[in-house]
Amino acid sequence: MKVLIIGGGGREHALAWKLSQSPRVKKLHAAPGNAGIAQVSECRPVSAEDLPGLLALAKELKADLTVVGPDNPLAMGLVDLLQQHGFRAFGPSASAARFESSKVFAKEFMARHGIPTAKFGSFADSGEAQKFAQTIHGPCVVKADGLALGKGVIICQSPRDSALAISQMMDKKVFGAAGERVIIEEFMQGEEASIHALLDGKTYKLFPSSQDNKRVGDNDTGPNTGGMGTISPVPMVSSALMQTVEEKILKPFLRGCAADGLEYRGLLYPGLMLTREGPKVLEFNARFGDPETQVLMMRLESDLIDALEAVVDGRLADTTLKFRREAAVCVVMSSGGYPGDYAKGKPIRGLDDAAKLPDAQVFHAGTRRSGNDIVTAGGRVLGVTALGADLRAARERAYDAVARISFDGAHCRKDIGGRALRFMESNPGSECKA
Ligand code: AMP
Ligand code: GLY
């Protein structure tokens, strides 16, 4: 079959890499893709947000399945558009993608269906929001309702901070329409974890646990980024905890969708905070995580195309996802200055040398080809990913591969997986296999 992948980041390279191994995928295309995706598929220069252009491309290629990577085209209704024209597409409809594109929608759904999450208030009026925020002593979190390039979440230490955040979002409209409504919620403490599940409207299948590191600097310092590195599995997520996630989050999610007349087909990735009272949902994402996908695809043993088709066709119950027992670690190499301003066009050296390492895979995020070179073209440049018998071995191999690659201004965190290893040392027997 012919598959078209929408997007051009590390997540899409990992999906394309895995799909390219399927004997059932005869031809793989990507729009717009990147230099790494181009190694396993044919890339077309159509933006992931150009809906008419993507529909025309699906028609031209006669795509049997279109896999949508990023959140924006989902929220804009790409899956709906393709389906209206008779094309099969993987990803939720715009209406179901509101779990990610509207935090107010997601929080109200969780409140209605008893899914554990931080206590919150939602506001469309800045005066009301200000009044509520002044009643909170201690830290709180102010969130813009809509998609804001990952920048719409502000952790506030005092009523003064929250007053400023509310006025920036609601009065000064720094996030445009995304800030017309805001959520103000309780600050939660704990370890974060990413849970990925495929949903076909009736049932779900889980991926193993993973964990992202969102701050740019070691020991979780500096500003938030799109994600600087991931591990899977997460030793802090025991199998008992995974069961709690199923009972308290995934099953009520499906029941809630049925009660509200909503159908969710695609990948659902709840970001969790593991609090002392149990796991609570920080947010729902309506797509695969980036760079979580990089570690999950390295561990997925079964054919991804079978799973994606089962979701689209509503027969997930008959499908089994098989995973390798090995652990995986992904270390992101980013451009110097990211998540602020950074230079582009820097030649990347050592990719071939890194590729020689067994069980290591360099997923491209912001790269493009320039003559004979592959050069940097984004903030997150590469997701250097490795499998190993355990987290320690996977981590060593991933950093081994990182050491072989260089470009001007390259930055990476040196501590991906470090907290997990310390946790395992102080909790013998915690090394989970999922
Ligand atoms: P979100 O986009 O809602 O996941 O928020 C982005 C990041 O902000 C999360 O990954 C957390 O690190 C942090 N965050 C969001 N909400 C809270 C909260 N209620 N308490 C503590 N940290 C939070
Ligand atoms: N790993 C963060 C995200 O994909 O949103």
CA distance 263 to 277: 30
pLDDT at 410: 98
Whole-angstrom CA distances from 409 to 23, 29, 227 are: 40, 32, 18
* Main-chain phi, psi angles of 274, to 5 degrees: -90, 90
Per-residue pLDDT tens digits for 145-181 = 999 877 899 999 998 999 999 999 999 999 999 999 9
Number of Cβ within a 10 Å radius of residue 343: 12
Q: Report the atom number in ligand 2 closest to the C-alpha of 289.
A: 4
pLDDT < 70 positions in the chain: 431-434
Closest residue (by CA) to atom 1 of ligand 1? Answer: 283
- Whole-angstrom distance, CA of residue 332 vs CA of residue 213: 10
- Provide the 3-class DSSP secondary structure of residue 326: coil
Of the residues 103, 145, 149, 153, which should be mutated to test ligand 1's pocket, given the most ligand atoms within 8 Å of the CB? 153
User: In whole angstroms, what is the distance from residue 401 CA to residue 386 CA?
Assistant: 8
Site to substitute for ligand 1 among 141, 195, 268, most atoms within 8 A of C-beta: 141
Annotated domain spans of the chain: 2-91, 125-180, 191-426
- Give nearest CA residue, ligand 2 atom 4: 289
Which atom number of ligand 1 is nearest to the Cα of residue 118?
19
- The CA 149 to ligand 2 mean position distance, Å, reads 11
Question: Which atom of ligand 1 is nearest to 224's Cα?
Answer: 7
Pick the CATH number of 125-180 from 1.10.3470, 1.10.150, 3.30.1490, 3.40.1720: 3.30.1490
Using a 6 Å cutoff on CB, does residue 142 contact ligand 1? no
Q: Provide CB contacts within 8 A for 29, sequence distance 6+.
A: 2, 3, 4, 5, 41, 42, 43, 44, 57, 61, 63
| Confidence (pTM) | 0.97
Query: Which CATH architecture describes the domain 2-91?
Result: 3-Layer(aba) Sandwich (3.40)
192 lines ligand 1 (CB under 6 A): yes
162 close to 187: Cβ distance less than 8 angstroms: no
Contact (CB, 8 A) for 254 and 173: no
H helix intervals, 232-336:
239-245, 251-260, 292-299, 304-313
Which fold, 191-426?
D-amino Acid Aminotransferase; Chain A, domain 1 (3.30.470)
Point out the ligand 2 atom lying closest to the alpha carbon of residue 290.
Answer: 4
Q: Would the CATH topology of 2-91 be identical to that of 125-180?
A: no
